[in-house]
Structure 1
Amino acid sequence: MRRKIILTGIAMFICVIVSMCIQAYSAVLYKEPIAKIEQVTIQEEKQVIQAEVLNGREKGKSIKLFSNYQENEVENTKLVEGNQVFFQNEEVTEKKRDGFVFFIVTLLLLTLIAIGGKTGLTTFISAGLNSAALVLMVWFYREHSDISLLPLTMLYMIFAVGLTLFLIDGFKKNSLQKFFATIVTILAAYFICYFTMSLLHDKGLRFEDLGVLTRPYRPIFLASLLIGAIGASLDTVVTVISTLEEIEQQNRQVTLKQLIQSGQIIGKDVSGTMINVLICSYFSSAIPMILVYLFNGWNFMQAMNMLLSSEAVRVICGGFGILLSIPISLGFFYFGRRKA
Structure 2
Amino acid sequence: MGKYKRILPWVILVFISLLSVIVLRHNATMYNTPIGEVTYVQTSKTGRSSDQFGNNVKTTTQRVTVKLLNTTHKGQVLTIVNTYDSAMAINQPVKPHNQIFLSRADDATWQFKTLKRDAVWVPVMIFVLGILIISMGRAGRLTVLSLGINILLFIVTVTLDLVTDNGNIFWLFMIFSVIAAALTLGLVMGFKNRQMWVIFLTVLTATALALLISEIVFTVTKQNGLHFELMSYITQLPKPLFMAMTLVGVLGAVMDEATDMIATLFSVQKERPDMTIREIIATGRHVGQEIFGALSNTLFLIFMAEQIPMAILYLRNGNNWGFTYMMNMSLGMIQTLISAIGIVLTVPAGIIWVLIVRKWQRRKEALS
Give the TM bin, normalised by the shorter chain: 0.7 to 0.9
Do 1:208 and 1:306's aligned partners in 2 also have CA atoms closer than 8 Å?
no
Secondary structure of 1:52's aligned partner = strand
- Per-residue CA deviations over 1:51-70 (Å, capped at 9, x if unaligned) read 23334665554332344534
State the partner residue of 2:84.
69
Distance in 1 (CA, whole Å) between partners of 2:3 and 2:293 is: 37
Deviation at 1:218, TM superposition (A): 1.9
Distance in 2 (CA, whole Å) between partners of 1:117 and 1:123 is: 10
Classify 1:211/1:57 alpha carbon distance in 2 versus 1 (closer, same or farther; 3 Å): closer
Distance in 1 (CA, whole Å) between partners of 2:82 and 2:267 is: 57
State the partner residue of 1:158.
178
State the partner residue of 2:25.
24
Distance in 2 (CA, whole Å) between partners of 1:155 and 1:241 is: 24
Classify 1:111/1:327 alpha carbon distance in 2 versus 1 (closer, same or farther; 3 Å): farther
Residue 216 of structure 2 aligns to which amino acid in structure 1? F
Distance in 2 (CA, whole Å) between partners of 1:224 and 1:30 is: 31
State the partner residue of 1:142.
162
Identity %: 24
Distance in 2 (CA, whole Å) between partners of 1:136 and 1:43 is: 47
Gaps of 5+ in 1: none
Residue 350 of structure 2 aligns to which amino acid in structure 1? S
Distance in 2 (CA, whole Å) between partners of 1:4 and 1:245 is: 36
Of 300, 303, 312, the residue aligned with 1:282 is 303
Max Rg structure? 2
Distance in 2 (CA, whole Å) between partners of 1:294 and 1:171 is: 51
Do 2:303 and 2:332's aligned partners in 1 also have CA atoms closer than 8 Å?
yes
Of 201, 208, 220, the residue aligned with 1:180 is 201
State the partner residue of 1:6.
7
Distance in 2 (CA, whole Å) between partners of 1:140 and 1:75 is: 32
Tell me whether 1:331 sits opposite 2:352 in the alignment.
Answer: yes
Classify 1:27/1:218 alpha carbon distance in 2 versus 1 (closer, same or farther; 3 Å): closer
State the partner residue of 1:87.
102
Deviation at 1:105, TM superposition (A): 1.6
Deviation at 1:20, TM superposition (A): 2.9
* Residues 169-178 or 181-190, more deviating: 169-178
Deviation at 1:92, TM superposition (A): 2.8
Deviation at 1:24, TM superposition (A): 3.2
* Residues 53-62 or 106-115, more deviating: 53-62
- Per-residue CA deviations over 1:298-321 (Å, capped at 9, x if unaligned) read 222332244222112111110011
Tell me whether 1:237 sits opposite 2:258 in the alignment.
Answer: yes
Deviation at 1:208, TM superposition (A): 4.5
**TM-score, normalised by the number of residues in structure 2:** 0.82
Gaps of 5+ in 2: 46-59, 105-109, 362-368
Residue 189 of structure 2 aligns to which amino acid in structure 1? D
Secondary structure of 1:286's aligned partner = helix
Deviation at 1:253, TM superposition (A): 5.4
Residue 39 of structure 1 aligns to which amino acid in structure 2? Y
State the partner residue of 2:54.
none
Classify 1:253/1:226 alpha carbon distance in 2 versus 1 (closer, same or farther; 3 Å): closer
State the partner residue of 2:322.
301
Distance in 2 (CA, whole Å) between partners of 1:208 and 1:298 is: 19
Do 1:244 and 1:262's aligned partners in 2 also have CA atoms closer than 8 Å?
yes
Alignment of 1:244-323 (within 5 A): 244-249=265-270, 251=271, 255=275, 257=277, 258-323=279-344
Deviation at 1:332, TM superposition (A): 0.9
Residue 274 of structure 1 aligns to which amino acid in structure 2? L
Deviation at 1:288, TM superposition (A): 1.6
Do 1:256 and 1:334's aligned partners in 2 also have CA atoms closer than 8 Å?
no
Deviation at 1:272, TM superposition (A): 0.8
Secondary structure of 1:285's aligned partner = helix
Classify 1:219/1:39 alpha carbon distance in 2 versus 1 (closer, same or farther; 3 Å): same
**TM-score, normalised by the number of residues in structure 1:** 0.88
Classify 1:162/1:114 alpha carbon distance in 2 versus 1 (closer, same or farther; 3 Å): same
Residue 34 of structure 1 aligns to which amino acid in structure 2? I
Distance in 2 (CA, whole Å) between partners of 1:210 and 1:120 is: 36
Do 1:229 and 1:317's aligned partners in 2 also have CA atoms closer than 8 Å?
yes
State the partner residue of 1:199.
220
Distance in 1 (CA, whole Å) between partners of 2:15 and 2:233 is: 45
Question: What is the Cα-based RMSD across aligned positions, in Å?
Answer: 2.7
- Per-residue CA deviations over 1:266-291 (Å, capped at 9, x if unaligned) read 21111111001110112221222211
Aligned length: 339
- Per-residue CA deviations over 1:105-131 (Å, capped at 9, x if unaligned) read 212212322343222222222222223
